[in-house]
Structure 1
Amino acid sequence: MAVESRFVVIRHGVEAKTFMDKKSADEYDKMLDMADNLVNVFAKSPIELSDSASEELSIYLAQHRDDVLVALLAKKPTKKSPVKKAAKKSAENKADPTPAKLGEAS
C-alpha cells in the first residue's frame, strides 16, 4: 500500500486547491493572501469595480507580482540571458537587410 502526502489550501472554509508538495501549497496560499489584500485596496479606490472584476484583477496581479513590482519600480527587472540575446542577434542577421519597397513585385 502506498502512502501519499497531500497539502490542501483551504480558504474561507472551502478547499481551494491540492498540492503534492508543501512549498507549492505555501506559494499558492501566499498568492491568495496577496489577492485578498488587493481586493481591500480596490474596495477603497474611487474606481468602481464589480466584485468579480475586482477578484479577477487582484488574482491576476498577485500571480504576476514580479512584473507588478518591476512596474512600480520596487524591483529591478531581471537581465536577459546572453543566449536569448545571441539568438535574437542571429535572427536579425539572417533577415533581409533591404526591405521591399511598397508596390514592388517580389
Structure 2
Amino acid sequence: MFANDLDRLAALHSNGKLSDEEFQRAKARVLDGQDPAPATAAAAAVNGLRRSRSDRWIGGVCGGLARVTGLEAWGWRLLFVLGLFLSGCSLLAYALLWIFVPNE
C-alpha cells in the first residue's frame, strides 16, 4: 500500500507536478500514516460541537449550536420548534444531538 503511494508521489515529482518541498511533505505523511487531506473548517466545527452548560433550556443543544455556528440560541430554538410543527423530524434530530453530543 505504501509502495504504491510512494511510487505515485515519485512519478508526480519526476514529472514536475510536485516541488521538492511538496514531495517531502507528502512522503512524510504517507510514511507517518497521516491522512493527507487537511481538516476543513466544517470538520473542525463538528468536532468542536458541545452542548452548552450555561445557555440551556432543556439539553443545551441549541446553546452549543449557537456557539459553533454564530446563530443565536433563540434562532436555533425557533428552527427546532418550526421543524416540529412542519414535519416533526426536528424532535428526532434534537434527541439525537442531545444523546450523542457531549457536554462542554
TM bucket normalised to smaller: under 0.3
Structure with larger Rg: 1
Structure (1/2) with the larger helix percentage: 2
TM-score (norm 2): 0.28
Structure (1/2) with the larger strand percentage: 1
TM-score (norm 1): 0.27
